[in-house]
């Protein structure tokens, strides 16, 4: 017996993360796209914007649309992903709240990729490797930020041994700056350059500090490559550790997590582009064993956005968490240098 498709809609699919999610959902064994909204692309076939011809058939004649906020609840999606810039999700959520007053209206799962609801306790914060035990069937899910995902995964195994603020130096490809033109996504201005920005008070700094319950100081930069981020985290420890102890903590914490790979050497951002997992490694201890440096990399558009959203959708509908996510076999997880 063929199980029915679960209808998903995407609001804001012109952005980089929304486009990645279209590709993942088009290949998913259970989810099917009901609508894909983009004012700029309205009327165009979604399949024409995909580079993989194998995904054209599942999308059929589906076209980008430009529904109003008020029309969204009536489009029949069982889940809706809001892939909008920060500050834009509230109007969509308000439309679903208003429609929810009608007993006959559907109550779709909402997954917000922006920062708008990451500080709202009424929303489940969906970083599954650290929070899946907190999922209780919530219909509102806040997807973590890309940098925030990498930082939390890099710090969490040492959370109980921290002494003082953690410093994180981050470098992102320019896809992280979105599609609206700016200095931070201008390849010409970034060429042979490293551009610092928001060096205090960045939203991901506040997000990670809140989620870990520990102060984190974050210094982001943009580099000339398109996708992929790297974080170098500097952790001061409350007691001396050996390198074996540290590595054992990370390996034990992420044992059985197919989307977190713990490696010995420092991971390269060029190796993470287009892949769905985080890599954590490059462990270095000071001579007294009380300062640890850890490096983490991820594709900001995948595990930092679309892949994580799909993990959360799978969990919300009782599907295997990694359904539709290309998970490498153990022997394929780390390509040779």
Which amino acids are annotated catalytic? 146
CA atoms lying within 13 Å on the CB side of residue 153: 32
- The gap between the terminal CA atoms of the chain, to the nearest Å, is 46
For 18-75, strand residue ranges (E) read 31-37, 64-65
The token pair that represents 242 in the structure block: 């050996």
Q: Sign of the CA dihedral 173, 176, 182, 185?
A: positive
- Contact yes or no for 80/111 (Cβ under 8 A): yes
Alpha-carbon distances of 8 from 5, 32, 69, 280, rounded to whole Å? 9, 6, 16, 32
CA nearest neighbour of 304 among 214, 223, 204, 190: 204
The token pair that represents 316 in the structure block: 């919300």
For 228, counting Cβ atoms within 10 Å of its Cβ (0-12 exposed, 13-18 middle, 19+ buried), the class is: buried
The DSSP code for 63 is: B
Contacts of 88 (CB under 8 A, 6+ apart): 12, 82, 114, 116
In DSSP terms, which residues pair with 262 in a beta bridge? 280
Phi, psi of 7 (to 5 degrees): -80, 130
In DSSP terms, which residues pair with 124 in a beta bridge? 141
b/e burial code for range 57-82 (CB count within 10 A of at least 16 → b) = ebbeebbbbebeeeebbebebbbbbb
């Amino acid at each position: 017996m063929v199980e029915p498709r679960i209808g998903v809609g995407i609001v804001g699919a012109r952005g980089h993360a929304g486009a990645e999610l279209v590709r993942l959902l088009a290949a998913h064994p259970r989810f099917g796209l009901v609508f894909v909204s983009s004012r700029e692309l309205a009327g165009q076939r979604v399949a024409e914007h995909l580079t993989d011809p194998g995904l054209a058939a599942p999308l059929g004649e589906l076209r980008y649309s430009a529904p109003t906020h008020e029309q969204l609840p009536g489009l029949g999606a069982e889940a809706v992903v809001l892939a909008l810039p920060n500050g834009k999700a509230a109007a969509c959520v308000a439309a679903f709240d208003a429609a929810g007053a009608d007993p006959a209206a559907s109550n779709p799962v909402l997954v917000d990729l922006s920062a708008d609801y990451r500080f709202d306790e009424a929303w489940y914060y969906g970083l599954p490797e650290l929070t899946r035990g907190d999922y209780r069937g919530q219909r509102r899910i806040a997807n973590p930020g890309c940098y925030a995902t990498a930082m939390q995964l890099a710090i969490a195994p040492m959370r109980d041994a921290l002494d003082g603020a953690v410093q994180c130096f981050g470098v992102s490809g320019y896809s992280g700056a979105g599609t609206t033109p700016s200095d931070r996504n201008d390849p010409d201005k970034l060429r042979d350059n490293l551009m610092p920005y928001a060096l205090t008070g960045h939203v991901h700094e506040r997000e990670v500090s809140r989620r870990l319950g520990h102060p984190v100081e974050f210094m982001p930069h943009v580099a000339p490559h398109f996708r992929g981020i790297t974080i170098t985290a500097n952790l001061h420890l409350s007691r001396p550790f050996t390198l074996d102890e540290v590595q054992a903590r990370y390996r034990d914490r992420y044992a059985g997590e197919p989307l977190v790979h713990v490696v010995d050497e420092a991971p390269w951002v060029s190796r993470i582009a287009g892949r769905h997992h985080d890599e954590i490694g490059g462990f270095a201890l000071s001579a007294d064993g009380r300062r640890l440096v850890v490096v983490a990399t991820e594709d900001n558009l995948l595990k930092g956005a679309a892949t994580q959203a799909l993990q959360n959708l799978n969990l919300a509908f009782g599907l295997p968490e990694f359904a539709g996510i290309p998970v490498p076999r153990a022997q394929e997880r780390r390509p040779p240098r």
